[in-house]
Structure 1
Amino acid sequence: MNGDSDLRARIDALGPWFHNLRLNGVQTAPDHFLGDYPSFKWQGFQHVVPADMTGMTVLDIGCNAGFYALEAARRGADRVVAIDSDPRYLAQARLAAEVAGARVQFHQMSVYDVADLAERFDFVIFMGVLYHLRHPLLALDLIHDHVAGDRMLFQSMQRGSDRVAAQQADYDFDDWSPFQGPDVPLFYFLEHSYAGDPTNWFVPNRAGIEAMLRSAGFRILEHPEREVYLCGV
């Protein structure tokens, strides 16, 4: 085999891919149902990520095939650690890093085990994971308390209203207003599957995800896209 056909074979052997990467010009998921994902989404919020990450440590939680970890390495981060619980995604990410010549350290581990890293990172990436978790607030608490050192880039699928109702610090027991209207904090629970994926468990509206981020101790610094937030610790 020549180089391109050999790489194509290695990519196909690890398929299907959720990240459409370009490895030496070979696309990993050219027929992705979302299009050129996540590259086309990245264009809308990449400006909130430092263009020069020299001297920074980065943790990518739920790295999938490694799009964001590789981007952090490309931007010069001194240390990039990427974790995922799925061994096939990690195999994809390792291949991508090999082809790109990127220095990324990979671990197979769950977000619930981040304390085992025993390290705080300058920049945490937590994209497209929360709604796949059965314990989403616990995950955010663990990230905040154990690995988030300065900034977190966060994304979650959202459904429902994009409006946010003002919340009081407390309510009387017989006051039902915190539970009424589409603009109060909501997380929709999916008992079975959504979009063919049985791991889609909790999907928030905008008010719900912003309230949960604050509850876990994060400050919302920027909101460059509907589902994307740059948070401070």
Structure 2
Amino acid sequence: MTKNLSPEAIRSGAAALGEWFHNINLNGVWTAPNHFLGDYPGQVWQHFAHLVPQDLTGLSVLDIGCNGGFFSMEMKRRGARRVLGVDSDERYLAQARFAAGTLGLDIEYRQLSVYDVAALGERFDLVLFMGVLYHLRHPLLALDLIHEHVVGDRLLFQSMQRGSRAVDQVASDYAFEEAAHFDAPAYPKLHFIEHRYAGDVTNWWVPNRACAEAMLRNAGFEILEHAAREVYLCRRVEPPYGAGAVYPAKGPRR
């Protein structure tokens, strides 16, 4: 723990860890006061904070892609018994450890890829998967692995979305000759970014709303609430069609 630091020590310690993407209040010292998105992610958190129970006493939480640890710390403040934040970027993890230590919050942070969550060997009552999907080259695989290995009950999910906000009723099957539905704006679409989007080379796939919801359902997550534009609270259920991370998930071709 690094609590009881002076404001000057907090400011210099935070600055030494590089640019922060999470604007976190460390006892009066903000880590990213000039964030291009404003007070991020605190401002957007207000729109869906009610999806998480105020009292998480006795529950375990996994924060995948935890970045600077804002959401992990919010979960610990609500009394979660165990909070584990994982990220593939050690710089973000160093920031998260510094922030949690400064605030006196007992949170574990570990460097881990979303594709390696099976290595954790445990399921969590609540899993946060926020702002990660569109940074992945294999997004549906990630959802499958999260479902198969770490979600015990609830998943809080967020992904950037682009394209139509409408959701069409999709038929369970189409004849090979039919193709018009692929051109419909509200048909599930996953947009591939070959180069960059918003100057970020790590942006790979961006779904429209219909696609984000279809991917969640197909990976075995029942959507319980869609309280904010891109945020979903889901419950773990059995995936349809025998879907899963291992091919051929749907069985032999017929």
TM-score by length of 2: 0.90
Question: Among residues 113, 118, 121, which one is paired with 2:116 in the alignment?
Answer: 113
Quote the residue 1:213 is aligned against.
216
Distance in structure 2 (CA, Å) of the matches to 1:170 and 1:44: 37
Quote the residue 1:90 is aligned against.
93
Quote the residue 1:100 is aligned against.
103
- Describe the SS at the equivalent of 2:176: coil
Pair 1:157-2:139 in alignment:
no
Quote the residue 2:251 is aligned against.
none
Question: Among residues 1, 4, 7, which one is paired with 2:10 in the alignment?
Answer: 7
Pair 1:190-2:187 in alignment:
no
Q: CA deviation at 1:177?
A: 3.2
Question: Among residues 151, 161, 171, which one is paired with 1:148 in the alignment?
Answer: 151
Distance in structure 1 (CA, Å) of the matches to 2:67 and 2:8: 24
Counterpart of 1:144 in structure 2: which amino acid? Answer: H
Question: Among residues 121, 125, 128, which one is paired with 1:125 in the alignment?
Answer: 128
- The total of aligned residue pairs comes to 232
- Describe the SS at the equivalent of 1:139: helix
Pair 1:170-2:200 in alignment:
no
Counterpart of 2:34 in structure 1: which amino acid? Answer: D
Distance in structure 2 (CA, Å) of the matches to 1:81 and 1:180: 42
Distance in structure 2 (CA, Å) of the matches to 1:171 and 1:194: 33
Q: Unaligned stretches of 5+ in structure 2?
A: 237-254
Q: CA deviation at 1:10?
A: 0.6
Quote the residue 2:247 is aligned against.
none
Q: CA deviation at 1:4?
A: 1.1
- Describe the SS at the equivalent of 2:33: coil
Distance in structure 1 (CA, Å) of the matches to 2:118 and 2:44: 30
Distance in structure 1 (CA, Å) of the matches to 2:8 and 2:57: 35
Per-residue CA distance 1:35-56 (angstroms, 9 max, x = gap): 0000000000000101000010
Distance in structure 2 (CA, Å) of the matches to 1:57 and 1:39: 22
Pair 1:72-2:36 in alignment:
no
Q: Unaligned stretches of 5+ in structure 1?
A: none
Query: Identity rate of aligned residues, in percent?
Result: 63
Distance in structure 2 (CA, Å) of the matches to 1:178 and 1:75: 45
TM-score by length of 1: 0.98
Give the aligned CA root-mean-square deviation in angstroms: 0.8
- Describe the SS at the equivalent of 2:118: helix
Distance in structure 2 (CA, Å) of the matches to 1:103 and 1:186: 41
Q: CA deviation at 1:114?
A: 0.2
Quote the residue 2:48 is aligned against.
45
- Describe the SS at the equivalent of 1:73: helix
Distance in structure 2 (CA, Å) of the matches to 1:98 and 1:7: 11
Counterpart of 2:113 in structure 1: which amino acid? Answer: S
- Describe the SS at the equivalent of 2:224: strand
Distance in structure 2 (CA, Å) of the matches to 1:158 and 1:135: 16
Distance in structure 2 (CA, Å) of the matches to 1:74 and 1:177: 50
- Describe the SS at the equivalent of 1:143: helix
Distance in structure 1 (CA, Å) of the matches to 2:181 and 2:72: 39
Question: Among residues 22, 29, 33, which one is paired with 2:32 in the alignment?
Answer: 29
Counterpart of 1:13 in structure 2: which amino acid? Answer: A
Q: Give 4+ residue runs of structure 1 displaced > 2 Å after superposition.
A: none
Distance in structure 1 (CA, Å) of the matches to 2:100 and 2:180: 50
Pair 1:204-2:207 in alignment:
yes
